[in-house]
Structures are given as C-alpha cells and as structure tokens.
Amino acid sequence: MTVNLLQTISEKNNGMIRWKKLFFFCFGLFIASSFAMKWMEPDLVYAGNPISIFGLELFYPSEKIEQIFRGMDEKVAVILSYHLHFDYIFMAGCYPGIASLCMMAREKTARGIFKNILWGAALLQTLAWAFDIAENHYLLKWMDQPQIGDSFTVYHFFVFSKWILALSGVVLAGSILLFSGYRSLQKNANS
C-alpha cells in the first residue's frame, strides 16, 4: 500500500515537472517573440498614425483595414508581414503554454469535475491556436489583396473565439494554481 502511494506521488510529481518544463519553454518563446514584435511596432505607421495590432484584430472596421492595407508604403508592409510571421512563434509559446498551465492546475486539483474542465480547457487551446493561424492568414491575404468583403464576419469569429478560449484557460488555471498555492502556504504555516 505504501509503495503504491509513493509510486502514485512520484508519477504525479513527474507529470507536474514535465508540464512545468513545457510551460517555461513556452514562456521563453512567448517573451522572445513579444519583444521582437514590440520592437517592430514603432515602425508600423500609416498616414502618420501608428497601426495598432489590436485595432486590426478587434477594433478597426473593415473599411479602415482596407484603407490601411491599400495605402501603406512598402517598408511598412514588409514590417507588418514580419510582425505577423513572428506572431506564429508567439502562438507556439502562447497556446501550448496556456495548455500546460491548465495541466499543472489539473495536477493540483483533486475534484474530478475540475480535472475534466481543465483537461477540456487545455485541449481547447489547440482550437484557439488554429483560430489565431486563421486570423493571420486573413490579414496576410488582405495585405496582398485588400478586398475584405463578407469574410470580415468570419475573421471576427476567429478573433473573438481565440481570445475567449485563451483568456478562459488562463483565468481558470491561474485561479486554481493561485488558490492551491495559497492553501499550501496556509497548511505549511499551521504545521
């Protein structure tokens, strides 16, 4: 009985260590690509105004995106293309990182329902990643042919869905990990 318990604890710790290693690797990709993209942003200018990546994703109407893509000069187009390609590296850090965060939280919880929810949240990060890839595909396509048309609704579905899935995974896993850490600190303080 004791041997089985020790083996179970050891397997659980090994699982947690693997997820932590993946998380920190992904975090490194996330930080490195974020710095690279942030470094490019001052050069993303159209008509004397900065082009906001969040604006392209969430806030600009299709007419403004078409206007920007039609009117930006070659240098800005190249930088925006680089930015969108660096976003693929960012994605490789972001979504697997969120999934590993969900799996670390899953290791910390004892309730079956939370384990299943966290497992689902981790799996849904692959869908969020696919939506982000689709989003970049649309932006790169519109840069080459700035005629958005009816595809703007589908584009926004991908954008909003990506954000909802990613933020839900972070908030859910982060809350459980914070609560678990707080509970461990209290337990250690009381003993």
Domain extents in the chain: 2-190
pTM for the model stands at: 0.86
Lowest-pLDDT range of 37-41, 73-77, 90-94, 183-187: 183-187
32, 89 in Cβ contact below 8 A?
yes
Angstrom distance (rounded) from CA 8 to CA 14: 10
135, 162 in Cβ contact below 8 A?
yes
Token pair 């004397």 is found at: 48
At residue 127, the pLDDT reads: 98
State yes or no: pLDDT of 4 exceeds 60: no
Summarize pLDDT for 20-41 with one digit per residue, the tens. 999 999 999 999 999 999 999 9
At residue 13, the pLDDT reads: 62
Torsion of CA 176, 182, 188, 191, to 10 degrees: -100
Angstrom distance (rounded) from CA 174 to CA 90: 20
At residue 183, the pLDDT reads: 66
